[in-house]
């Protein structure tokens, strides 16, 4: 793996694992290094939402030479420590359970610990929450994190672009994330309301 600081992708047990799948594909296409952690509930949703199998996906990403998978119990992983420099961390999809833990400083698995490290080191942390409706606890947890500089990016469809199908929506969310973490400078013009044809 080349020495650029990696982007940490964390998959938790909320609906929308396809977003993480497409996001990792896009990062690797852009020659970025990717460190992945997936919670056990994330694996359950992965299976439920009928993505290509976890094993096949890891094998595909591994072949890039820019990808590493860590177990969610692996506190010896480099991303458990602030001494290891990462470019950004994206929790996608982010369950309300994981968001609640992060906002309350609970670090009992690698995903939560790595997120806590991002906050303490003042590095880019983005959460892609998936729940509806949101209750007051969900909102308070996210507000607390937003005040600490964490970006909250709900996977909202771009209705103004008249997406034809769910792929259009997913692609838009991935592009929005690529800009948010600075992998891309701007959205492609077909995703910008004033610039689309
Ligand atoms: C199929 C399935 C779908 C789920 N969808 C969501 C969801 O969209 N949002 C959410 O917050 N929790 C959802 N849950 C519940 C979480 O997976 C559960 O709270 C779990 O404890 C989260 O653990 P984690 O944060 O370690 O991934 C779902 C669970 C299953 C099995």
Query: Which domains are seen in the chain, by residue range?
Result: 7-191 (3.40.50.1950)
- Pair of tokens at residue 99: 């968001």
Q: What number does the ligand 1 atom closest to the CA of 15 have?
A: 8
Answer whether 112 contacts ligand 1 (Cβ < 6 A): no
Answer whether 101 contacts ligand 1 (Cβ < 6 A): no
- The segments of the chain whose pLDDT lies below 50 read none
Answer whether 15 contacts ligand 1 (Cβ < 6 A): yes
- Asked if 94 and 138 touch (Cβ cutoff 8 Å), the reply is no
Distance between Cα 118 and ligand 1 center (Å): 23
Cα–Cα distance measured from residue 120 to residue 102, given in angstroms and rounded to the nearest whole number: 12
pLDDT at 175: 97
Answer whether 100 contacts ligand 1 (Cβ < 6 A): no
- Asked if 158 and 149 touch (Cβ cutoff 8 Å), the reply is no
pLDDT at 1: 52
pLDDT in tens, 78-119: 999 999 999 999 999 999 999 999 999 999 999 999 999 999
Answer whether 45 contacts ligand 1 (Cβ < 6 A): yes
pLDDT at 197: 61
Q: What number does the ligand 1 atom closest to the CA of 99 have?
A: 25
- Sorted by sequence, the CB contacts under 8 Å of residue 44 that are 6+ apart come out as 13
Q: Give pTM, 2 decimals.
A: 0.96
């Amino acid at each position: 793996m080349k020495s650029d600081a990696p982007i940490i992708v964390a998959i938790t047990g909320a609906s929308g694992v396809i977003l993480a799948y497409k996001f990792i594909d896009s990062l690797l296409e852009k020659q970025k290094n990717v460190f992945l952690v997936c919670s056990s509930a994330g694996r359950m949703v992965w299976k439920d939402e009928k993505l290509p199998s976890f094993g096949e996906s890891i094998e595909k990403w591994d072949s890039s030479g820019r990808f590493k998978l860590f177990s969610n119990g692996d506190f010896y992983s480099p991303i458990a420590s602030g001494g290891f420099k990462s470019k950004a961390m994206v929790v996608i999809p982010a369950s309300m359970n994981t968001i609640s833990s992060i906002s309350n400083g609970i670090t009992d698995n690698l995903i939560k610990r790595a997120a806590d490290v991002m906050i303490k080191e003042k590095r880019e942390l983005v959460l892609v929450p998936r729940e509806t409706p949101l209750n007051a606890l969900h909102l308070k947890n996210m507000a607390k994190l937003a005040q600490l500089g964490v970006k909250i990016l709900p996977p909202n469809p771009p209705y103004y672009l008249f997406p034809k199908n769910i792929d259009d929506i997913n692609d838009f969310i991935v592009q929005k994330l690529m800009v948010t973490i600075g992998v891309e400078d701007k959205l492609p013009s077909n995703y910008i309301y004033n610039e689309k044809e």
